[in-house]
Amino acid sequence: MSAPGALEEWNGSAAAWEARVTETLGALDLPEQLKQATKGNATELRIPDWPAVPARARARFGRREADRMCDERAADGDDVGRTSLQDEYAEWRVVRDECGRAVRFELTTELADYWELLARYAPARAIDVVGEFAGVPVGRSAVFGAHNPFGATSTEDSRANAFCAEMLGRDRDGNGLGRRPGQYNNGAKAITCLARKDNSLAALAKLVAAAAAAPQLVVDPESGEARFPSGSEAIPTLWEESAKDGRNSDPVVVERIVRLATEGRTIRFDDPAGVHIVDVQLDELTDPGGAPLPREWCKLGRHGPPLPDGLARAQRLELEVPADAGFRLGEVRSRRTGTAIVHGAQIAELVQLAVYVRCGPRDAIAVDVPLRRLAA
């Protein structure tokens, strides 16, 4: 298995990532569809994809208010909008000028689990990359807090612990430490990786495993016909806290995985497991005069060399108008809304994410498929 994005940032990254994914899945009561899946018997590609903009927030608060709230920062600079609302396996920050106008947009889908491994095994590289994100070199404290990752007493575990405390505000088991992520992952100076617990490898693995463990058909309440359930119909039958209805991501992943499981297919994450950016509708953005933005203004990063399958594996997007362009990001217009870019959600809605899944042929596994009658 490769590292997310097919990155190769240290020797042994692929093995470390494979071990982490295996460990994460191993903590779950995996159904046969996942247990029996191998690279040899699960080869067909499936691509559940979804927009990066939080659907739950927009449904609850309305589009304009939700978009504003997603960017909201507390008086102390804490990115409360991100931590409370950005729940689509994508988190972003908007860098603003002194007048509050947007000048730069950064979005990441990098799983914190990978970054913990990077901090554990390649601390110097982790510090360098955070410096690249921040636009200026940073010291070790940016990533490790008070811990010296190069000290004689530093261990792999202590570096991982320090990274989690500083960059995620929690311990390695996900328990809160009564503090928020540091300024190189709370958007104040940079955004490094996904910080929310429900945007994690553990959440993604549980989502897929829970859906695979719930093969089923439902009886349509109006037509009386048996059919596959929708995401919303299936989610209440899954393991507790494995999926959130109303998200863009969870229902579409659940719906498609339940369908594969019901068909008796083996199912596995594609190699590498991760959440990848598969599309950016840059055509939907124009300069103040209506001309398209040059594609080079939108940088897709955090991916390695293309793999033979040719699939998109970027995990980071940065959009900024060059200083000599004569205008700033806040003057870029969204064709979709006919308005200038004020909030990051206006860009996030143009970013499409996916988790790549591989499956085997139908009926590879004997499945007992319950037929569930939906309440009218």
Partner 1 sequence: MASVETAASAAASTSEAASASEAATLQDGIYLQPGPLPKELRLAVLDFAPGTGTVAAGAAVGAIYALLGELREGVVRELAATRPDEPDVEIDPGTFDFLLGYGASFFDPERGLTAAARPDLLTPLAHPRGPFASLRWAPGVPARSGEGDLCLQLTGRDSHAVGRALVEIWKLIADERLPLTIRESFDGFARDDGRSWIGFHDGVSNIRPSQRLAAVRCTGDPDWNRGGTYLAFLRCAVDLPAWRELTREEQEVLVGRDKLSGCALERVDTVDGRLVPRPFAGCPATATATPEELDVFRDPPETGDPILESSHIHRSNQNRSEPTTAAGHRIFRQGYEYLEPMTATAPGLGLNFVSFQSSLEHVRQILGLSSWLGGVNFGGRTPGSGAAGPEPIEIVDLRAGGFFVVPPRARPFPGAELFGTFDTSPRHA
User: Which residues, in sequence order, are CB contacts of 360 under 8 Å at separation 6+?
Assistant: 37, 41, 42, 43, 44, 265, 266, 267
Is residue 236 part of the contact set for partner 1 (CB under 8 A)? no
Is residue 287 part of the contact set for partner 1 (CB under 8 A)? no
Reported in sequence order, the residue ranges of 156-225 that DSSP labels E, i.e. its strands, are 217-219
Please spell the DSSP secondary structure of 47-100, one letter per residue.
Answer: --EEESS-HHHHHHH-HHHHHHHHT---TTS--HHHHHH--SS-EEEEEE-TTS
Is residue 262 part of the contact set for partner 1 (CB under 8 A)? no
The correct pick among 202, 359, 364, 365 for binding partner 1 (CB under 8 A) is 359
What are phi and psi for residue 260, nearest 5 degrees? -65, -40
Is residue 63 part of the contact set for partner 1 (CB under 8 A)? yes
User: Which residues, in sequence order, are CB contacts of 109 under 8 Å at separation 6+?
Assistant: 52, 89, 90, 194, 274, 275, 276, 277, 315, 316, 353
Total chain residues near partner 1 (CB under 8 A):
52
Query: Which tokens go with 121?
Result: 């095994």
DSSP state of 374: P
Stretch that binds partner 1, among 25-33, 43-51, 71-79, 120-128 (CB under 8 A): 43-51
The correct pick among 3, 7, 16, 55 for binding partner 1 (CB under 8 A) is 55
- 295-334 residues in contact with partner 1 (CB under 8 A) are 310
Which of residues 19 and 311 has its CB atom nearest to partner 1 in the complex? 311
Which of residues 206 and 358 has its CB atom nearest to partner 1 in the complex? 358
Is residue 347 part of the contact set for partner 1 (CB under 8 A)? no
Is residue 279 part of the contact set for partner 1 (CB under 8 A)? yes
Q: What is the distance between the alpha carbons of residues 300 and 110, in angstroms, rounded to a whole number?
A: 12
Which of residues 189 and 256 has its CB atom nearest to partner 1 in the complex? 256
- 102-161 residues in contact with partner 1 (CB under 8 A) are none
Q: What is the distance between the alpha carbons of residues 332 and 325, in angstroms, rounded to a whole number?
A: 11
Is residue 74 part of the contact set for partner 1 (CB under 8 A)? no
Binding site for partner 1 (CB under 8 A): 44-51, 55, 58-59, 62-64, 220-223, 227, 229-233, 246-249, 251-252, 255-256, 259, 278-279, 281, 283-284, 286, 290, 292, 310, 335-339, 349-350, 352, 359, 376
